[in-house]
């Protein structure tokens, strides 16, 4: 009988402990407002944020994004709407225009974490990302190094850029230039070609570059992988560009396939999945009273012919 | 009066807005929160400014595809002047309005004096010119920290209900009432409808159609400039790359949903207001319900197609009604 009471008491205590544990798991609604959801790269950020929700059933993650990375007005409306939504407990924002978002979130008391691009505002508790400029620098340096290995004496680099005036484009451009120059190369600022982040326009830009430089160029860097792939294909039949390094940005699946096929040479990868997951985690930690670091590094890498297959397998796993 | 305003069709549009609001209120309890309602009004104001100018052009059977780029250009011009040391907010706004008016006047002149075939061509060209000009004047940079006077229209609110009633929407209400009176009660307003209904007949009746058209495009430029000032107040920044955004599509959609026609001669301010509100409510609902951006594009595209289809049905019904009336007279 005594034994029975001891067992019953233990079971009751365990149940009470479990119940207390569940009660401590508060329910939170987290709004994740991204630059867009309409691209493969942002698909990984979405997958990362949603994965956090799956791993933590008490966290309800609502992901949304503008229809394109230049739809500033759309994102502005989304932020305005969610800032007025009483059900939201915390925010993750990837700003299309950081200064614009800084104005919009002024005075917001709920925790806000910036992802991918930082927002300089006191309301933002932390920035999860790498920063386009530092990631670009990593890529620029790797491309210049590879160009040297491929036998180029003069490391000239021309960029096929995205949308002129766009802050992401400008940051990547600065990074590429700094990276190439850090390896003793020359970034040809006067020959930057703007292709509005579109592959079709990148082909026209690459054709113009080949006209102006029949001798070949060591490094062609592009603002995204679509443009880098298009430029590589446009130059495929030109012997002077056989050893050119075509550098893209994002490290998406199609880029890995292109690298494996010997078209695009390398791509800068920001870890979208980790950014999505860690940014939601940061907001939840802030809601639970934890003090966040001002910067949470999501990491960046450069994928090349040797690492493209592993990266491809990893990306496919994220979207399963 | 009811016939002139296309009362039946507007009733349908109002019903669509009410049903949409009812659905969103059912789907998300925050839709009717005061803060969200005020947010919708803020989000409507920019499109409502552009749609005012667009409506004038559509009534004349024309179109102004440069309204969005003109708004951003005017905002960027203010930014460039501010960077150049001009700190007087009123002066910046006056320059922006004059610049917007000038661009509109050029659009009108290209159509009426230089006889370019259709405003679609000239205003599309102007859109590109203004996009490039916006980048040139700002040196491809994003500019912020505007004087408080410039930010007043886009930022200021009145009262505390839901965070305050936006001044921008108050201005829109006053503007729409004034424009309604102008279009329905003044000789020039009626001339605009006449020109859209039958350009040649209007010209033969002694109305200077070239001046009427130029006036409409100049007004469109002024409205775009006001939209630009509003956008600076709302966002606190200007950036030339924003000129690529399809603001003109939203403005056209607001007018067409509200009863305007590509064939000209039709359209009202109240209808355009409802059209602009429908678009803002739709976008707000997408956000509240966390709807994927690809679905957003599909729904918005379908709404525009539906609005144009309604325009076609409306035109054929009207033609049928006229035929029947003529036949009844003949008997």
Span A24-130+271-289: which CATH code? 3.40.50.2300
DSSP state for residue A250 in the 8-state scheme: S
Q: What is the pLDDT of residue B283?
A: 87
- What is the pLDDT at residue A117? 86
Contact of B142 with chain A, judged by CB distance below 8 Å, is answered with yes
The pair phi, psi for residue A220, each rounded to 5°, is -115, 115
Mean pLDDT along residues B312-326: 84
Cα-trace Rg, chain A: 23
Cα separations in angstroms, B282 against A78, A187, B3: 12, 46, 28
Least confident window among A255-259, A304-308, B139-143:
B139-143
Give domain limits for chain A. Answer: 24-130+271-289, 133-270
Q: Are B249 and B303 in contact (CB under 8 A)?
A: no
Full DSSP string of A141-208: HHHHHHHHHTT-SS-EEEEEE-STT-HHHHHHHHHHHHHHHHTT-EE-GGG-EE-TT-HHHHHHHHHH
Q: At residue B177, does pLDDT exceed 60? A: yes
Rounded to an integer, the average pLDDT of A137-162 is 95
Domain A133-270: give its CATH code: 3.40.50.2300
Taking residue B23's Cβ as centre, other Cβ atoms within 10 Å add up to 13
Least confident of A70-74, B63-67, B130-134, B169-173: A70-74
- Which residue would you say has higher pLDDT here, B10 or B156? B156
- What is the percentage of chain B residues whose pLDDT exceeds 70? 97
Helix (H, G, I), strand (E, B) or coil at A100: helix
A297 contact partners, CB below 8 Å, separation of at least 6: A129, A130
Report percent pLDDT > 70 for chain A. Answer: 92
Q: What is the separation, in whole angstroms, between the first and last Cα of chain B?
A: 28
Q: B234 vs A76: CB contact, 8 Å cut-off?
A: yes
Q: What is the mean pLDDT of residues B14-30?
A: 90
Residue A263 has pLDDT above 80, yes or no: yes
pLDDT of A4 reads 62
pLDDT tens figures, B239-284: 888 888 889 999 999 999 898 988 899 899 999 999 999 999 998 8
* Mean of per-residue pLDDT scores for chain A: 89
Are the beta carbons of A72 and B43 separated by less than 8 Å? no
More confident residue, B311 or B202: B202
- Cβ pair A95, A83 in contact under 8 A: no
Report the gap between the CA of A173 and the closest CA in chain B (Å).
Answer: 13
Record: contact B43-A77, CB cut-off 8 A: yes
Longest CA–CA separation in chain A, Å: 96
Is residue B296 helix, strand or coil? helix
Position B7 pLDDT exceeds 50: no
Average pLDDT over residues B57-81: 96
What ranges do the domains of chain B cover? 43-244
Q: Is the pLDDT of residue A116 over 70?
A: yes
Yes or no, beta carbons of A67 and B296 under 8 Å apart: yes
Average pLDDT, rounded, for chain B = 89
- pLDDT of A135 over the 90 cut: yes
Biggest CA–CA distance in chain B, Å, is: 75
Look at strands A245-249 and A266-270 and give their pairing. parallel
Q: Does B3 have pLDDT greater than 70?
A: no
CA distance A27 to A7: 33
Task: Tell me which of A73, A109, A159, A163 to substitute to probe the interface with B (most B C-beta atoms closer than 10 Å).
Answer: A73
Report chain B residues whose CB lies below 8 A from the CB of A82: 287
B12 contacts chain A (CB < 8 A): no
- pLDDT tops 50 at residue B5: no
Q: How confident is the model at residue A1 (pLDDT cuts 50, 70, 90)?
A: low
List chain B residues with CB under 8 Å of A66.
Answer: 293
pLDDT score, position A14 = 55
Out of A61-75, B29-43, B97-111, B150-164, give the one with best mean pLDDT.
B97-111
Burial class (CB in 10 A: 0-12, 13-18, 19+), A238: middle
**Measured between alpha carbons, how far is B114 from B116 in angstroms, rounded to an integer?**
6
B242 close contact with A: CB closer than 8 A: yes
Cβ B287–A82 below 8 Å, yes or no? yes
Helix boundaries (H) for B205-292: 209-235, 247-257, 269-288
pLDDT band with cut points at 50, 70 and 90 for residue A9: low
Looking at residue B276, its pLDDT comes to: 95
Question: Which residue shows structure tokens 């493209």?
Answer: A308
The whole-angstrom distance between residue A255's C-alpha and the CA centroid of its chain comes to 15
Q: How far is CA A221 from CA A136, A254, B218, in A?
A: 10, 17, 44
Three-state secondary-structure class, residue B164: coil
Sheet holding A90-93, edge to edge: A59-66, A28-36, A90-93, A112-115, A124-129, A295-297
* Dihedral in degrees, nearest 10, Cα atoms B94, B95, B101, B105: 140
Confidence at residue A25, expressed as pLDDT on a 0 to 100 scale = 72
Per CB-CB distance under 8 Å, the chain B contacts of A120 are: none
Name the residue facing B245 among A36, A62, A70 (closest C-beta): A70
Contacts B29 to A, Cβ<8 Å: 87
């Amino acid at each position: 009988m005594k034994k029975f009471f001891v067992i019953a008491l233990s079971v009751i205590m365990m149940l009470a402990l479990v119940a207390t544990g569940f009660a401590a798991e508060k329910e939170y609604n987290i709004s994740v407002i991204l630059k867009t959801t309409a691209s493969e790269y942002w698909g990984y950020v979405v997958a990362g944020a949603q994965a956090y929700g799956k791993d933590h059933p008490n966290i309800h993650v609502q992901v949304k994004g503008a229809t394109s990375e230049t739809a500033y007005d759309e994102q502005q409306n989304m932020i305005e709407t969610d800032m007025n939504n009483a059900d939201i407990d915390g925010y993750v924002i990837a700003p299309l225009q950081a200064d614009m978002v800084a104005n919009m979130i002024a005075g917001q008391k709920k925790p806000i974490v910036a992802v991918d691009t930082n927002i300089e505002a006191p309301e933002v508790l932390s920035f999860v990302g790498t920063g386009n400029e530092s990631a670009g620098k990593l890529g620029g340096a790797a491309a210049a190094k590879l160009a040297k290995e491929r036998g180029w004496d003069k490391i000239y680099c021309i960029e096929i850029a995205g949308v002129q005036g766009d802050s992401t484009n400008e940051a990547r451009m600065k990074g590429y230039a700094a990276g190439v120059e850090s390896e003793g190369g020359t970034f040809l600022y006067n020959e930057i070609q703007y292709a509005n982040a579109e592959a079709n326009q990148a082909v026209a830009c690459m054709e113009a570059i080949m006209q102006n430089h029949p001798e070949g160029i060591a490094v062609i860097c592009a603002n995204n992988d679509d443009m880098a792939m298009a430029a590589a294909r446009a130059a495929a039949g030109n012997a002077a560009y056989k050893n050119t390094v075509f550098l893209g940005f994002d490290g998406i699946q199609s880029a890995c396939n292109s690298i494996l096929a010997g078209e695009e040479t390398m791509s800068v990868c920001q870890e979208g999945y980790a950014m999505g997951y860690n940014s939601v985690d940061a907001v939840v930690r802030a809601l639970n009273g934890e003090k966040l670091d001002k910067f949470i590094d999501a990491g960046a890498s450069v994928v090349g012919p040797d690492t493209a297959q592993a990266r491809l397998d990893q990306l496919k796993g994220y979207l399963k | 009066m009811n016939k002139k305003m296309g009362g039946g069709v507007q009733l349908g549009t109002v019903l669509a807005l009410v049903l949409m609001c009812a659905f969103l209120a059912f789907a998300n309890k925050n839709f009717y929160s005061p803060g969200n309602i005020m947010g919708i009004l803020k989000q409507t104001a920019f499109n409502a400014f552009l749609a005012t100018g667009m409506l004038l052009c559509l009534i004349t059977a024309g179109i102004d595809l440069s309204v969005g780029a003109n708004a951003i250009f005017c905002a960027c011009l203010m930014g460039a002047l501010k960077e150049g040391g001009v700190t007087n907010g009123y002066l910046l706004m006056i320059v922006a309005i004059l610049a917007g008016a000038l661009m509109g006047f050029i659009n009108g002149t290209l159509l009426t004096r230089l006889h370019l075939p259709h405003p679609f061509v000239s205003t599309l060209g102007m859109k590109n010119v203004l996009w490039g000009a916006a980048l040139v004047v700002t040196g491809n940079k994003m500019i912020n920290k505007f004087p408080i006077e410039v930010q007043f229209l886009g930022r200021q609110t009145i009262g505390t209900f839901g965070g305050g009633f936006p001044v921008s929407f108050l201005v829109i209400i006053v503007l729409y009432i004034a424009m309604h009176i102008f279009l329905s009660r003044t000789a020039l307003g009626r001339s605009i409808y006449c020109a859209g209904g039958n350009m040649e007949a209007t010209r033969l009746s002694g109305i200077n159609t070239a001046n009427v058209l130029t006036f409409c495009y100049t007004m469109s430029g002024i409205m775009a400039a006001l939209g630009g000032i509003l956008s600076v107040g709302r966002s606190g920044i200007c950036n030339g790359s924003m000129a690529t955004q399809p603001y003109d599509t939203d403005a056209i959609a607001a007018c067409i949903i509200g009863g305007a026609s590509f064939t000209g001669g039709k359209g009202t301010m109240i209808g355009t207001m409802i059209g602009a509100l429908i678009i803002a409510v739709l976008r707000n609902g997408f956000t509240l319900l966390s709807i994927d951006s690809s679905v957003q594009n599909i729904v918005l595209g379908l709404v525009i197609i539906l609005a144009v289809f309604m325009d076609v049905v409306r035109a054929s019904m009207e033609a049928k009604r006229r035929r029947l009336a003529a036949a009844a007279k003949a008997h």
